Structures are given as structure tokens and as C-alpha cells.
Amino acid sequence: MTRTMLALPLALVSAAAVGLTAAGPASAGSGVACSLAGATTAAVTGLTMPTPVRAGSTVSAVVTVARSTGSAGPVEVVLAPGSWTRTNACVVVPAGKASARFDVAISPVTTDGRYATVGAYVTPDGADLRQATSPIVGR
């Protein structure tokens, strides 16, 4: 199975302290766009990835959303790769679920002291941006 990994273009929100940039709408290499269609009916409330992460590996991260009252459909979440990471442009939290898993590729860094960072948001202005940061350990 081939997974498209890409960095999102710089745009709306910046969390410069950790090198995170939120952008919207983003598109994956396959031409699938994050439309943010349900953006007013949900918000990202959490984002986790393992700690530490191994240089050059791919890890599974989890994004959690909260839906507005009465909203039950799928939620499209924009992913914002940051320091030393690559990921798909979007992940969908299915209807009836509160979270979804996605892969994060960790750069093969060779020096100590690096941190892998990834972000996720639903709102068009990125106001609900959440981030996860993990130290990178050698191979």
C-alpha cells in the first residue's frame, strides 16, 4: 500500500515555537482536498503520538474531535506536519466516532535533541489547532 506524504503550504496559523504551520484547505498528492465542509460542527480537542519516536520510523498518531450538539457526520481533519515529520494532508473521523488514527513519518535525524511535531485542526481559521511533540531517539 502506497501512502502519499507531503508538507502543507504555509497559510493561516503559525505555532512558530515548535515549527508548526496550519494551512487550509490543503490537498493530498492524490488530488484529494481537505474541504473543511464540517468545520463549524466540530473542533479538535486532542492529538497524541508515541513518546519517544525513533528516527526514520513511521508512528501512529491519534486525533480526537468534539462535535457540536446534533452533529453526527464524519469530520475532516487537516493535518499539519511540523518539525521533522511528514503526514497525509487529511484524516477523516468517521460518523459516530470521536477519534481517528493516522501515520506520521519521522525524519531520519542523526543528532540528539530533535523533537517530532505534528498538528491537526478542523476550523477554517485553525483556531482549534492542537499539536503533539515527541523527542526523537536514534535508530
What pLDDT score does 15 carry?
37
pLDDT of residue 36: 67
At 38 the pLDDT is 54
Q: Write down the pLDDT at residue 61.
A: 97
With beta carbons less than 8 A apart as the criterion, state whether 81 and 98 touch. no
- Residue 120 has a pLDDT of 95
pLDDT of amino acid 30: 37
Q: Where are the alpha helices (DSSP H) in the chain?
A: none
Per-residue pLDDT of the chain (139 residues; tens, 9 = 90+): 333 333 333 333 333 333 444 433 333 333 346 776 655 689 999 999 999 999 999 999 999 999 988 888 899 999 998 889 999 999 999 998 999 999 999 999 988 889 999 999 998 888 999 999 999 998 6
Domains of the chain: 13-137 (2.60.40.10)
Distances (CA, A) of 84 to 50, 81, 112: 15, 8, 13
